[in-house]
Structure 1
């Protein structure tokens, strides 16, 4: 069990009230200097980016998910041990240490230590909720999406300065504990993915062949759909649903407040993040799709994310990004049945194949409307299929909820542990830390899912160039 330090002294900070006696406290600008060193023309240096959940990484490892810079001439040079801060997203966690030599966009600030210190310690410190809140307080801008943290403000923030040996001990301890925690989270996420695959198999079978295993089949007339039950029909999506029927007009009251759903908010068949509450006057221009109960939204950009969600409850003031198609079913198809057909592998994989583009593949509304669906004409049969899927998936859904809760609790523990250790509320100097395998150190970041941790909206990943 971790214990406090034997002696503390009070600080003048209301958000960091005490520090161990042996620790100093300085302003960030007294620990780090802003370093601007431009890369030469035609350089071949590694392009680096900072991400809110996985820290500093070479862009080439992730370039299939985002844009690739055409040139890095004039970019900032980064050395190992530098702290990189994304001015626009620092308050969301886009700040961290680089273990690479390379270059990064001028949208970032490069902080280089003035004197010898363990910058991994400050990596952990700067990503705690306490410091992210300080970053937000000191950022400039009229709304969250426009906030920017400049070094003249970042440099004013006080930071603890433990003795160098204690910095090393803290980093060693946190590397060990976070590797353990993140391994647990990765395993739970993989378990959840297996459960989701099981549920998806149930959905795929039921919405393509129905419930009678002995039903007579007929050719659908659409190659990628294949055979379907003899009494089923096939129709293009535009005949079964209205696409983007409701939009917010430009004349909307500037103070109109709504919940905004972007692609980071939606997984496959579920919500993967909390929607942001926005006022129309501050919202991005893509916040336009009006959602109602019975609608299904489907991502039409970066379609490989398979972002699909059926709105099952009565909702008010729900607005989705124009990166979604909002599908409002017509009389021939039961709303939740349409949602599951859209979610099925057969349909969503076709959407992906019909998309155009490499980094940000997209499908046009007109093309989407021509894709065909197979369905039983009987609403009663559609309802029976829905009930079968619900019954067959009940145990799976409960297991997913339990695993997600375990992940949530472990993340809370990790956040609390890191905060307590880096602010000296507990003493790790005497803790015997086992040797951590190199591959575990390389995988300190949890197995981050792209749709919920890597991206923020159609504009790109959660980093800015």
Structure 2
């Protein structure tokens, strides 16, 4: 859909903004808004049964019974998620990692919200450690300044059009979640029930596995594979005997694949290299971390040689089963359930020991069935990945469209003054 332009334009004096409509001005942000620091509010001091949302730099982090910010307002990430924007329609409490916005009745708050989207506030961080945004830097930004009626028209237009786009994005995100759920169900069914729906079944002896095909066995992992633990970073090494070698971390081991875009190096005693060396066919598995990282794994195909692994990454080396089968088992629902019930847990974190890992009940079909199921899963997962990739591409395009629309409206590249009238008519 195309939109009309303004009748006449002039140079804004700002290269990235370009021309703006005649009648608009360019002003520093400090001329139209006041940015207020939030207040310190410790977790233990919050009234969690309250109805006032507490905002941190990345959104709502809890609740309280008093507010320190007016409504409506814009929360701007000051520390951490620098420049992140959140809209609060009701009175809220801003903690000390955010700013909140105050302004006069001559400025439309919602228009300010949309304009802030195009300032790329995250790039304005001046801190080298934790990203941080200073009020002075924020105030110095130049923005377009149309009349109040135009601000209201732009805000209403973007609320409506971006709302439509956001609904389409949410639909694609739900599709991705459903596809991931279905993919997980396919993996879990294949590794516990096989491919033949008419196969005779027997009790596995494991309550959360249930029935398995006759001829299949259930063995502790230690009977079908060995578990190699990794090296701890910071271990003392001898300068005379040390060598520098690639080092695989938790961040490199994703769910079903390896991300080797950033690989760390480590100094290790030369006589210890073989002890921690990865071998082709090892199934790498994360010891823990966030709940979603627990048991996450992928197959090592010898992408880098030599290479060792971190102590938080297990290298599971199959002996009587194929690597692809073991990888599928580890990714199944029953294995994930086992890891969660055996893991040592704390707030949002979990970890499993090598001892518990070695007792994982491992389903072992005959070798030929392992190969057939692995082949089936490869084909099915390829289908799911294609659909998920298509949905992600759609989301990317929708987000690009959203950003372009916001930029065009708030810089006056399109004239939306009559759009709301057209909708009403």
TM-score normalized by structure 1?
A: 0.71
Residue number among 42, 58, 62 corresponding to 1:59 in the alignment: 62
Distance 1:297 1:179, change over 3 A: farther
Shift of 1:386: 0.7
Q: What is the DSSP-based 3-state SS (H/G/I as helix, E as strand, rest coil) of the residue aligned with 2:68?
A: strand
Question: What CA distance in whole angstroms lies between the structure 1 residues aligned with 2:116 and 2:279?
Answer: 41
Residue number among 310, 314, 330 corresponding to 1:342 in the alignment: 330
Alpha-carbon deviations, 1:352-383, whole Å to 9, x = none? 34456575152333475155233326444322
Alpha-carbon deviations, 1:300-348, whole Å to 9, x = none? 34426878352576645999998x7544333333223222212212221
Q: Which residue of 2 aligns with 1:46?
A: 52
Question: What CA distance in whole angstroms lies between the structure 2 residues aligned with 1:192 and 1:423?
Answer: 34
Q: Which runs of 5+ in 2 are unaligned?
A: 267-275
Shift of 1:101: 0.8
Q: What is the DSSP-based 3-state SS (H/G/I as helix, E as strand, rest coil) of the residue aligned with 2:12?
A: strand
Aligned length: 400
Shift of 1:208: 0.8
Alpha-carbon deviations, 1:20-66, whole Å to 9, x = none? 222222222222223247599887562322565xxx44735xxxxxx
Q: Which residue of 2 aligns with 1:169?
A: 153
Q: Quote the RMSD (CA, aligned, Å).
A: 4.1
Q: Is the 8 A contact 1:34 1:109 kept in 2?
A: yes
Distance 1:414 1:308, change over 3 A: farther
Q: What is the DSSP-based 3-state SS (H/G/I as helix, E as strand, rest coil) of the residue aligned with 1:310?
A: strand
- 1:242 and 2:248 aligned: no
Q: Is the 8 A contact 1:79 1:101 kept in 2?
A: yes
Shift of 1:106: 1.1
Distance 1:237 1:161, change over 3 A: farther
Shift of 1:162: 1.9
Q: Which residue of 2 aligns with 1:222?
A: 206
Question: What CA distance in whole angstroms lies between the structure 1 residues aligned with 2:116 and 2:249?
Answer: 28
Distance 1:305 1:372, change over 3 A: closer
Question: What CA distance in whole angstroms lies between the structure 1 residues aligned with 2:29 and 2:10?
Answer: 20
Shift of 1:156: 1.4
Q: Which residue of 1 aligns with 2:369?
A: 381
Question: What CA distance in whole angstroms lies between the structure 1 residues aligned with 2:105 and 2:158?
Answer: 23
Residue number among 79, 83, 86 corresponding to 2:74 in the alignment: 83
Shift of 1:200: 2.5
Distance 1:42 1:246, change over 3 A: closer
Q: What does residue range 258-273 of structure 1 map to in structure 2 within 5 Å?
A: 262=251, 269=256
Distance 1:90 1:153, change over 3 A: farther
- 1:142 and 2:128 aligned: yes
Q: Is the 8 A contact 1:301 1:362 kept in 2?
A: yes
Q: Which residue of 1 aligns with 2:411?
A: 423
Distance 1:151 1:303, change over 3 A: same
Q: Is the 8 A contact 2:57 2:98 kept in 1?
A: no
Q: Is the 8 A contact 2:230 2:308 kept in 1?
A: no
Q: Which residue of 2 aligns with 1:24?
A: 25
Q: Which runs of 5+ in 1 are unaligned?
A: 61-71, 282-288, 436-465
Q: Which residue of 1 aligns with 2:165?
A: 181
TM-score normalized by structure 2?
A: 0.77
Question: What CA distance in whole angstroms lies between the structure 1 residues aligned with 2:349 and 2:208?
Answer: 20
Q: Which residue of 1 aligns with 2:10?
A: 9
Q: What does residue range 296-375 of structure 1 map to in structure 2 within 5 Å?
A: 296-298=284-286, 300-303=288-291, 308-311=296-299, 315=303, 325-355=313-343, 359-366=347-354, 368-369=356-357, 372-375=360-363
Distance 1:236 1:23, change over 3 A: farther
Question: What CA distance in whole angstroms lies between the structure 2 residues aligned with 1:217 and 1:393?
Answer: 26
Question: What CA distance in whole angstroms lies between the structure 2 residues aligned with 1:291 and 1:141?
Answer: 38
Question: What CA distance in whole angstroms lies between the structure 1 residues aligned with 2:308 and 2:75?
Answer: 34
Greater relative contact order, per chain length (Cα 8 Å cut-off, separation 6+)? 1
